[in-house]
Amino acid sequence: MKFEEQESIDDSSKETVLKPEIEENEAFEKIEPMLDYGNIKSSKDIEVPPLLIDQVIGHEESIETIKKAAKQRRNILLIGDPGVGKSMLAKGMAQILPHESLEDILIYPNVEDNNHPLIRSVPAGEGKKIVKATKGSAKNHEEKKTLITTFVIAAIVVIGFMYGRILEAIIAAALILLISIQIKPKNNNMSPKLLVNNEDKRFAPFMDATGAHAGALLGDVRHDPYQSGGLGTPAHERVESGMIHKANKGVLYIDEIGTMTMKTQQELLSAMQEKKYAITGQSENSSGAMVRSQAVPCDFVLVASGNLQVLEGMHIAMRSRIRGYGYEVFMKDSMEDTPENRKKLVRFVAQEVKNDGRIPHFAPDALDEIILEAKRRSGKQDALTLKLRDLGGLVRSSGDVAIEKGADLVTAEHVIEAKKFSRTLEQQIADRSIKQRKEYSMVHPEGGRVGLVNGLAVIGDRSGIVSPIAAEAAPAQSKEGGKIIATGKLGEIANESVQNVSALIKKYTNKDISDYDIHVQFIQTYDGVEGDSASVSIATAVISAVEDIPIDQTVALTGSLNVRGDVMPIGGATAKIEAAAESGIKKVLIPKSNMKDVMLEKKYEDMIEIVPTETLSDVLENILISGSKKDRLIEKMRNLSSKVASKVSKSQIEKPATN
């Protein structure tokens, strides 16, 4: 597959948009069947469970906890990656909470204290009836009043005509009209307002209060500029319920709870403790701040969610409240790759098609492609991803492709095409960078260069990128010793990596790193590039610079190095290898323990050789260009490792284990 650059027509800045160009002859290769589908002809034949909680896939333990919590009305803290089904679980919980106890909440004027309206709870469905009944009787009064007023005015006008006092009669009629407008029937002022309506609700309420400001969350009282002369709206009619009240007897869901202000969290906490919360105007400058209702019931179950960082912004007492009166759940981002779980993924596709309602169902070969993609996205050979919101995106775009082609069923070809079109922002950045680097010959996959190495990194979740790292070693300028000068956005990581490998460099090269000023540069680094897997690359570039041995530019590498010189596993192995292949690299060195995670797309399989590495010596053997200097270095490394090995075995013989 190639990429072509298109210019957007409407934009004056002529922004370039990368669009995948599908080669005519790009062969569509069928993959091995992932499941035995038996009689199933498409995802249409798969039954979708009616309850949301039963539709959640891959979180069996979390579902157990949620079910237990629903029974006992306990709070929940769900921690996990975005799109793994946290809000789905919370919605599912609301569906299994008992809904018989649902209530409507009414607010009444208080004749004794207008600014302190009264609250009444009635069984769900009753609220509307009460409001209708009081409004009905007020309407009757109003009609009676209008009738009497009309009659009196007519009588005055007639009498005025009879006695020739027309002007006096008109003035009297106008006065009576004014007075009648001013007199509002008592009943009308007394009719309540329905604050929370649960009429005809089949399930307990679910309120998503993510990002809600204090007013929306805790309730508010509207401002009224006509406060004097009895022209204003009665206080109780200006009271608006908050989400905590609407979630009464149901679930209040808050994602990223740590981003709420401490004050709001504090208020939320007191609402949770008291199970009722009075509504007052949230703005001090508004006339609403003078009003404070009687306490309004808000007996909700809190489901808070987010990633681990969210805990930092979370009120300590809030976390302790959840821990003490509920459960904390850490959600998985992948599940084991078993036939059972593959079947669940197939059901997931059926669910997404049903929920979308606009796309056709999936044929077995398309389901196979989705399972394979779930495997690839997990980043592990024996796992399937649970980041199902993203995978749902692929399901929908595959459906869109099928519709565009007028197909009745989505096939594997549609899924493959959708994968090319529905690339994430990060993947598009990676594609653009690969293209630009090729265009400007920034990655030269040929020959040897001293101190320049093709590192590999990932952007976002799963987009690989070749990230060249250059190192230069010069004798230290200062008497206090050499410095590590790291430029580019990953300077801190470079510094740490060089410090970490300084002992290894000393061991392998016999040179003290503090005798040198070492410059390390990440060439053309992009925002969001993850860098902890660059330590092997940095060490290689520095050793090459110090020893003046060229690095093979047809090779790229990735791996995390520990202070002992072992190459440790990294994330995103597949994406990195594919990016290297895309950039014309011929060989890639990856940590041995990552070999099981490699799931290359078919087209890359013959493009690149993958070499597993366990130690820095393995890396240097495979990446440095042969010559006398390399041979000397490798010889020294071998001697060192055999010395270490013999020392270990000797000490083992001399000092047998005591326990």
Ligand X SMILES: Nc1ncnc2c1ncn2[C@@H]1O[C@H](COP(=O)(O)OP(=O)(O)OP(=O)(O)O)[C@@H](O)[C@H]1O
CB of residue 429 to ligand X, shortest distance in Å: 21
Closest chain position to ligand X (CB): 85
Q: Which is nearer to ligand X, 94 or 493 (CB)?
A: 94
Best CA proximity match to 524, nearest among 579, 577, 467, 470: 467
Q: Which is nearer to ligand X, 254 or 580 (CB)?
A: 254
Q: Which two tokens stand for residue 314?
A: 């979370």
State the amino acid at position 541 in one-letter form. A
CB of residue 647 to ligand X, shortest distance in Å: 52
Q: Which two tokens stand for residue 460?
A: 């976002």
d(CA 583, CA 437): 8
Beta-strand pair 452-459/463-475? antiparallel
Residues 92-151 that bind ligand X (CB under 6 A): none
Q: Which two tokens stand for residue 492?
A: 């801190």
DSSP state of 32: P
CB of residue 386 to ligand X, shortest distance in Å: 6
Q: How many residues bind ligand X (CB under 6 A)?
A: 19
CB of residue 48 to ligand X, shortest distance in Å: 11
Question: Which residue of 21, 40, 73, 87 would you call a contact of ligand X, by CB under 6 A?
Answer: 87
CB of residue 533 to ligand X, shortest distance in Å: 26
Helix/strand/coil (H, E, C) string of 530-568?
Answer: ECHHHHHHHHHHHHHHHHCCEEECCEEECCEECCCCEEE
Q: Which is nearer to ligand X, 57 or 221 (CB)?
A: 57
Q: Which is nearer to ligand X, 222 or 389 (CB)?
A: 389
Q: Is 501 exposed, middle or buried (0-12, 13-18, 19+ CB in 10 A)?
A: buried
Q: Which is nearer to ligand X, 93 or 501 (CB)?
A: 93
CB of residue 91 to ligand X, shortest distance in Å: 8
Q: Which stretch binds ligand X (CB under 6 A): 42-50, 86-94, 222-230, 547-555?
A: 86-94
Q: Which is nearer to ligand X, 389 or 489 (CB)?
A: 389
Is 398 catalytic? The answer is: no
Find residue 4's DSSP bridge partners. 19
Question: Which residue of 138, 235, 244, 386 would you call a contact of ligand X, by CB under 6 A?
Answer: 386
Q: Which is nearer to ligand X, 353 or 555 (CB)?
A: 353
Interface map 327-366 toward ligand X (x if CB under 6 A): ---------------------x---x--------------
Find residue 529's DSSP bridge partners. 459
CB of residue 255 to ligand X, shortest distance in Å: 5
| HSE (side-chain half, CA atoms, 13 Å) at 236 | 24
SS3 591: strand
In order, the DSSP letters of 157-181 are HHHHHHTT-HHHHHHHHHHHHHHHH
Question: Which residue of 288, 364, 379, 392 would you call a contact of ligand X, by CB under 6 A?
Answer: 392
A 10 A CB-CB count for 566 gives 16
Q: Which is nearer to ligand X, 350 or 486 (CB)?
A: 350
Question: Which residue of 66, 84, 456, 469 would you call a contact of ligand X, by CB under 6 A?
Answer: 84
A 10 A CB-CB count for 631 gives 12
Interface map 202-241 toward ligand X (x if CB under 6 A): ----------------------------------------
CB of residue 261 to ligand X, shortest distance in Å: 20
Q: Which is nearer to ligand X, 56 or 453 (CB)?
A: 56
CB of residue 102 to ligand X, shortest distance in Å: 24
CB of residue 545 to ligand X, shortest distance in Å: 44
d(CA 377, CA 383): 9
| HSE (side-chain half, CA atoms, 13 Å) at 277 | 31
Distance of CA 352 to the CA centre of its chain: 18
Give the active site residue among 86, 276, 387, 576.
Answer: 576
Judge contact between 76 and 69, C-beta under 8 A.
yes
Torsion of CA 330, 336, 338, 340, to 10 degrees: 10
**Phi, psi torsion values for 83, nearest 5 degrees:** 75, 20
Best CA proximity match to 54, nearest among 351, 284, 307, 262: 351
Q: Which is nearer to ligand X, 306 or 455 (CB)?
A: 306
CB of residue 303 to ligand X, shortest distance in Å: 10
Distance of CA 81 to the CA centre of its chain: 6
Q: Which stretch binds ligand X (CB under 6 A): 24-32, 284-292, 382-390, 599-607?
A: 382-390
Q: Which stretch binds ligand X (CB under 6 A): 109-117, 288-296, 381-389, 644-652?
A: 381-389
d(CA 432, CA 151): 83
Q: Which is nearer to ligand X, 87 or 428 (CB)?
A: 87
Q: What are the helix and strand counts (H, E) for the chain?
A: 21, 28
**Phi, psi torsion values for 329, nearest 5 degrees:** -125, 130
Best CA proximity match to 102, nearest among 175, 206, 187: 206
498 binds ligand X (CB under 6 A): no
Question: Which residue of 88, 296, 580, 581 would you call a contact of ligand X, by CB under 6 A?
Answer: 88
Residue count (the chain): 659
Q: Which is nearer to ligand X, 56 or 430 (CB)?
A: 56
Give the active site residue among 533, 535, 537, 544.
Answer: 533
d(CA 4, CA 64): 50
85 binds ligand X (CB under 6 A): yes
Question: Which residue of 389, 423, 586, 587 would you call a contact of ligand X, by CB under 6 A?
Answer: 389
Q: Which two tokens stand for residue 438?
A: 């090729």
A 10 A CB-CB count for 219 gives 26
553 binds ligand X (CB under 6 A): no
Distances (CA, A) of 299 to 205, 268, 295, 464, 558: 11, 12, 12, 48, 53
CB of residue 302 to ligand X, shortest distance in Å: 15
Q: Which stretch binds ligand X (CB under 6 A): 11-19, 136-144, 387-395, 428-436?
A: 387-395
Residues 24-83 that bind ligand X (CB under 6 A): 55-59, 82-83
- The vertex-227 CA angle with 267 and 181, nearest 5°, equals 130
Residues 245-264 that bind ligand X (CB under 6 A): 255
d(CA 577, CA 503): 29
Which residue do the tokens 């948009």 mark? Answer: 17
Q: Which two tokens stand for residue 510?
A: 């016999």
Find residue 410's DSSP bridge partners. 362
Is 533 catalytic? The answer is: yes
Residues that bind ligand X (CB under 6 A): 55-59, 82-88, 255, 348, 352, 386, 388-389, 392
Catalytic residues: 533, 576
